[in-house]
Amino acid sequence: MKHISLLGATGSIGTQTLDVIRKHPEHFTLESMSVGKNIELALQQVHEFIPALLSVQTKEDYDKLIHKVPNKTRVVFGTEGLEEVATAPKSDILVNAVLGSVGLSPTLAAIKAGKTIAIANKETLVTAGHIVTEEARRYNVSLIPVDSEHSAIFQALNGENIKEVDRLILTASGGSFRERSRDELEGVTVREALNHPNWSMGAKITIDSATMMNKGLEVIEAHWLFNIPYEQIDVVLHKESIIHSMVEYIDGSVIAQLGTPDMRVPIQYALTYPKRFESITNERLHLWEIGLLHFTKLDMERFRCIKFAYEAGKVGGTMPTVLNAANEIAVACFLEGRLSFLEIEHVIEQALESHTVIKKPTLEEIIKVDAETRAFIHSTIK
């Protein structure tokens, strides 16, 4: 029986992780979980799974539910609450499915506690990839990818020699506006942007997908997870999201992982690795029903966020921290109707251009740059 800690239980990845736990009660049990603001769903989840520990976002949220949780569930809150959930003594594996760089401190706490981490929370790897991966090496902790592209690469690397890898090839759907020219992006609505062609996901990642910042963040995520230089990471547009990513080896062989677009598959693989269990979904890939798979060269002038991400990744230091923090705030403002779609990339570009990079930042420096960048974006939007 694996005891699971879950950060972000009420989100898209969080609820799908609970589906996987539900499917295999003889193998998995929920030990601890965190939520943000969705107290109603959190209460349903704790009454179903009775975890030993629940963390909510604030003291106010704590007051709202403390008298409604089962006796066996202890309730905590805030950043320390996230860290407690991530390091719950009985847990074997942490699923980090929280949104944004708030996931950094519990990730580092879990590493120090020696927990295996199934990582969906890409912002943590983007903002502080060098620290997270150095700490993981120091404490001999495995970071198992959940993100569909990285899970695909992880599977395509299985049993191979990393030194024989020529390129990682990430596939990109192109997002909600893939059929539109740059001029046609003027005035697009939040509702249109939230309409992803292939995946049902949380709001922030769906917007990231539309700007293609998601793929940019994933390039940086791949760099850190697989220790591969940016020059050897490519992106190809693949509108069906059936090939989840590929690895090309020095002999020209390309190994791809395919499947229907369902995040419960990579989530489950991260929990069962190196084994495979029967899937929660009965849906199988019938290629004859799909017929054609399409691939298109990426245009970095059409999707400028991906260019920013490559540049920030190559400069390194605090540049990816700025990229991530600027993007988190810009997307939140777009979702609130305070910024237009094209302004997202504009304010990110301004933040990157005005930043003086710190080459090998400490954790404290990363936290400071993250906060300063958020304030910078807010000040430009006012």
Ligand X SMILES: CC(=O)[C@@H](O)[C@H](O)COP(=O)(O)O
As a 3-state breakdown, the chain gives helix, strand, coil percent values, each rounded to 5, of 50, 15, 35
Q: In what order do the strands lie in the sheet with 93-96?
A: 74-77, 53-56, 28-34, 2-7, 93-96, 116-119, 143-145
Pairing of strands 165-172, 143-145: unpaired
Among 147, 208, 248, 370, binds Mn ion (CB under 5 A): 147
Q: Which residues are bridge partners to 94 per DSSP?
A: 5, 117
Among 4, 5, 6, 12, binds ligand NDP (CB under 6 A): 12
Of the candidate spans 63-71, 97-105, 172-180, 280-288, the one that interacts with ligand NDP by CB under 6 A turns out to be: 97-105
Total number of residues that touch ligand X (CB under 6 A): 12
Residue 8 gets which letter from DSSP? S
The minimum distance between CB 261 and ligand NDP, in angstroms, equals: 9
Among 87, 214, 327, 380, binds ligand X (CB under 6 A): 214
Q: According to DSSP H, which parts of 88-172 are helical?
A: 104-112, 122-138, 148-156
Upper half-sphere CA count for residue 104 (Cβ side, 13 Å): 21
Residues between 126 and 165 that touch ligand X (CB under 6 A): 147-149
CA angle in degrees (0–180, nearest 5) for 277-118-146:
75
The minimum distance between CB 218 and Mn ion, in angstroms, equals: 6
Of the candidate spans 86-94, 168-176, 291-299, 353-361, the one that interacts with ligand X by CB under 6 A turns out to be: 168-176
The minimum distance between CB 156 and ligand X, in angstroms, equals: 15
Residues between 106 and 165 that touch ligand NDP (CB under 6 A): 120-123, 147
Locate tokens 């997002």: which residue? 175
Among 10, 12, 116, 209, binds ligand X (CB under 6 A): 209
**Contact (CB, 8 A) for 3 and 29:** yes
Q: CB neighbours of 134 closer than 8 A, spacing ≥ 6?
A: none
What is the widest separation between alpha-carbon atoms in the chain?
Answer: 62
The minimum distance between CB 112 and ligand X, in angstroms, equals: 28
10: partner contacted, choices ligand X, ligand NDP, Mn ion, none (Cβ within 5-8 A by kind)? ligand NDP
97: partner contacted, choices ligand NDP, Mn ion, ligand X, none (Cβ within 5-8 A by kind)? ligand NDP
Of the candidate spans 3-11, 60-68, 106-114, 147-155, the one that interacts with Mn ion by CB under 5 A turns out to be: 147-155
- In 10 A of CB 150, how many CB atoms? 27
**Residue type at 294 in one-letter notation:** H
- Decide: is 309 part of the binding site for ligand X (CB under 6 A): no
- In 10 A of CB 19, how many CB atoms? 14
d(CA 133, CA 131): 6
105: partner contacted, choices Mn ion, ligand X, ligand NDP, none (Cβ within 5-8 A by kind)? none
- Decide: is 172 part of the binding site for ligand X (CB under 6 A): yes
What is the binding site for ligand NDP (CB under 6 A)?
A: 8-14, 34-38, 57, 97-100, 102, 120-123, 147, 199, 201-202, 204-205, 263
What is the binding site for ligand X (CB under 6 A)?
A: 147-149, 172-173, 175, 199, 205, 209, 214-215, 263
